[in-house]
Amino acid sequence: MVGSAILRKLEKEGFHNIITRTSSELDLRNQADVRAFFEAERPEYIFLAAAKVGGIMANNIYRAEFLNDNLLIQNNVIDSAYRTDAKKLMFLGSSCIYPKLAPQPLQEDSLLTGLLEPTNEPYAIAKIAGIKMCEAYRSQYGSNFISVMPTNLYGPNDNYDLNNSHVLPAMIRKFHEAKEDGKPFVELWGTGSPLREFLHADDLAAACYYLMQNYNEAGFLNVGVGADVTIKHLAEMIQQVVGYEGEIKWNTDKPDGTPRKLMDVSKLHALGWKHTIDLEEGITRTYQDFLEKIETYAV
């Protein structure tokens, strides 16, 4: 989702000499293959968006893979970028790097000030390691490696698989299938009370493009919209966009996750960038993307 959004943005801005590989073409977990790729292609500017990602269920079940795979991916790419004299690298992390009970909104200096949310701790630790790796290579070797931490993302090419997707695309699929099947209710996890912030992937791509040109500092930056909604309100917005007229039932035996994850984006705003896609418009766009890909997710 993120990589394709960045690619669209670069092409829109007139860039043509773009080097890409799919996961089937290059396994970023394989150090030898990654080094050979960098030696052959020698990219100058690198957006490191590749990662093993998922929602609460996937994070909690596949704890070993979420830690190991992400460490391998980022270690191989960051080190190879240094070894082939890349001009600049941008590492993309996640808002889950912050302590579970960090003061809201989440400020960059809250990193490592408390315990992480247990359900996504392995993923968060991997992403924290990526930040610190960029900082270490900058400090020791003078590499211009920067890090950005996006909030919850959604948009075209999202993952709509109910077993390992994030909350927004999972809801889109649940409400759509309930509408198509005439189901009287949709069951959702938790209480609906947690607050979440959502950024459209095209807005993230625009931010990444802007920061690749305008940000060269050691400290990482939050990327978000600076406002959040309850999961309950999100569900109601998606229900309306999809056109489902049944009931929503909340399964309170399932976990809510972190109570709130709102990013402080004052540093990003001070640098001159703000999002442009509001949540309702973004959900509408994403539902259209889902409808175009619906056969892929047919049960």
Domains of the chain: 2-297 (3.40.50.720)
More confident residue, 150 or 166: 150
Tokens coding 69: 């795979």
pLDDT tens-digit series, residues 248-260: 999 999 888 778 8
pLDDT tens-digit series, residues 120-153: 899 999 999 999 999 999 999 999 999 999 999 9
pLDDT at 109 over 90: yes
pTM of the model: 0.92
103 labeled part of a ligand binding site = no
153 labeled part of a ligand binding site = yes
In contact, 190 and 257? CB cutoff 8 Å: yes
Report the amino acid identity of residue 39. Answer: E
Could you give the CA distance from residue 144 to residue 86 in angstroms, rounded to a whole number? Answer: 8
Share of the chain above pLDDT 70, in %: 98
In contact, 231 and 56? CB cutoff 8 Å: no
SS3 76: helix
Could you give the CA distance from residue 126 to residue 238 in angstroms, rounded to a whole number? Answer: 31
256 labeled part of a ligand binding site = yes
pLDDT at 28 over 90: yes
pLDDT of residue 299: 47
pLDDT of residue 165: 75
Residues with catalytic annotation? Answer: 123
pLDDT at 298 over 80: no
pLDDT of residue 258: 72
Count of beta carbons in the 10 Å neighbourhood of residue 185? 11
Using alpha carbons, list the distances in angstroms from residue 298 to 54, 180, 187: 20, 12, 19
Peptide bond into 169 cis (omega under 30): no
Least confident of 69-78, 93-102, 146-155, 213-222: 93-102
More confident residue, 165 or 244: 244
Confidence category of residue 90, pLDDT binned at 50, 70, 90: very high
Give the containing element (helix H, strand E) for 230: strand 229-230
Confidence category of residue 60, pLDDT binned at 50, 70, 90: confident
166 labeled part of a ligand binding site = yes
pLDDT of residue 10: 98
Mean of per-residue pLDDT scores for the chain:
94
Tokens coding 56: 């609460």
pLDDT of residue 46: 98
Tokens coding 268: 């990003």
Report the amino acid identity of residue 200. Answer: H
118 labeled part of a ligand binding site = no
pLDDT of residue 288: 95
pLDDT of residue 296: 66
Cα Rg of the chain (Å, integer): 19
Could you give the CA distance from residue 231 to residue 224 in angstroms, rounded to a whole number? Answer: 17
4 labeled part of a ligand binding site = no
Spatial CA neighbour of 230 closest among 277, 197, 276, 187: 197
Spatial CA neighbour of 153 closest among 201, 121, 218, 98: 201
Could you give the CA distance from residue 30 to residue 12 in angstroms, rounded to a whole number? Answer: 32
- Contact partners, residue 62, CB within 8 Å, separation at least 6: 52, 54
